[in-house]
Chain A
Amino acid sequence: MDELKAGKLSPGFSKLNDDLTAAAKSIDEYETSKNEEKLFQAQESLLNFLLNYQNISS
């Protein structure tokens, strides 16, 4: 996801993309490690996405 979109996005959208990428990565890591902490990290990345989304809109 990040490879395809990073070059085309504005800085604000790039942050959103980073957050989504981080969330997806944490979920992938959970699949291999089965460590619940990875899911919490994914949730944190999604909350950061919402925070950045809010900052774009304001």
Chain B
Amino acid sequence: MGKPGQSKGVTIKINGEEKVFADKKIESQEAASEEQEQEHTDESFEWILPEDSNENKIVLVPSPPKKKMPKLIGFGTGSLKSSDKRPIKTFMIAVICAVFFGSILGLIAVKTITKEKAEVSSVETPIPTEATVEDKKAAVTEPGNQLKTFLVQGGVFSSEDAARQIQKKIIEKQVPAEIFKMEDSYYLFLGSAESLAASKELALFLKSYDVDVYWKEINFEAAGTSQEDEKTLDKMKTVYASLAETSATKLRGKAGTVNEEALKKTWMN
């Protein structure tokens, strides 16, 4: 360096080998002072690369196996780590609680409403179901002044006003209702059928109109009629029984079983 004909630059010794790096800036500044060139020669130094040593080596140390924490099992939580399942379980608990409390509230409401209805109809007498199973068909056409009927009852009331109130509500539901006074009580009847079993079926049909129903056998008796009147009444009772059977059967959605021709003959004789 500094000698004429020799390229100028930076000489670096790497592991004993000299490498010259030409410096164009130095060439352009050749006119610069020789003192500075002398200093450049002094700046050359030997690079000493560090030897391979274990100090800088990265040693992979296997991490100790993590101890598994015992699972905490309790009501509502399967595990503390399974946080994904917790919302589902919380939701399920909420649903179960809602159903449980809803059922209790519903039962209370139903009991309250039933109690109120019982207070309105003062003397309601439900008919025992055991007796209704027995079919007592064709008892309407008894001889004499008696007329045995099988009716759908909508309630029994101690006062006519109470009966009228319920009658009005039932008629609003497009169901017929008539008040009969019998033995100091007011009966509300909604329909008639040919037998007790048929009146039960008719009652169940009318129940779909959201009315309270019972089925009952009622005897009507005519008094002070002559023999001729009795004959007329007998014919009327027969016609009544046939018409009741036809209308009740058709209302229950079954095909009518009454022979209409035979009915006309009965009436004409």
Contacts and interface: CB of A to CB of B under 8 A. Distances in A.
Given A1-B239, A39-B250, A44 B176 contact: yes
A30 B151 CA distance: 21
Contacts of B189: 47, 50
A20 B267 CA distance: 11
A24 B229 CA distance: 22
Contact of A27 (B174, B240, B247): B247
Size category of the A interface is: 20 to 34
Interface string B153-179: 000000000000000000000111010
Given A13-B229, A37-B174, A53 B147 contact: yes
Interface residues of B, number: 34
B175 A40 contact: yes
Interface stretch (B2-10, B98-106, B109-117, B220-228): B220-228
Contacts of B240: 20, 46, 49
Nearest to B189: A47
A41 B178 CA distance: 12
Contacts of A39: 247, 250-251
B244 A40 contact: no
A26 to B, nearest CB: 8
A13 to B, nearest CB: 6
Interface of B: 145, 147, 149, 151, 174-176, 178, 180, 189-192, 220-223, 225, 229, 232-233, 236, 239-240, 243-244, 246-248, 250-251, 264, 267-268
Q: Which 8 A-B pairs have the closest CB atoms?
A: A44-B176, A57-B222, A47-B178, A42-B247, A43-B191, A23-B243, A39-B251, A1-B267
24 contacts: A1-B264, A20-B240, A24-B243, A26-B247, A27-B243, A30-B250, A40-B175, A40-B176, A40-B251, A41-B176, A43-B192, A43-B247, A46-B192, A46-B243, A46-B244, A47-B176, A47-B190, A47-B191, A50-B149, A51-B180, A53-B222, A56-B222, A57-B220, A58-B223
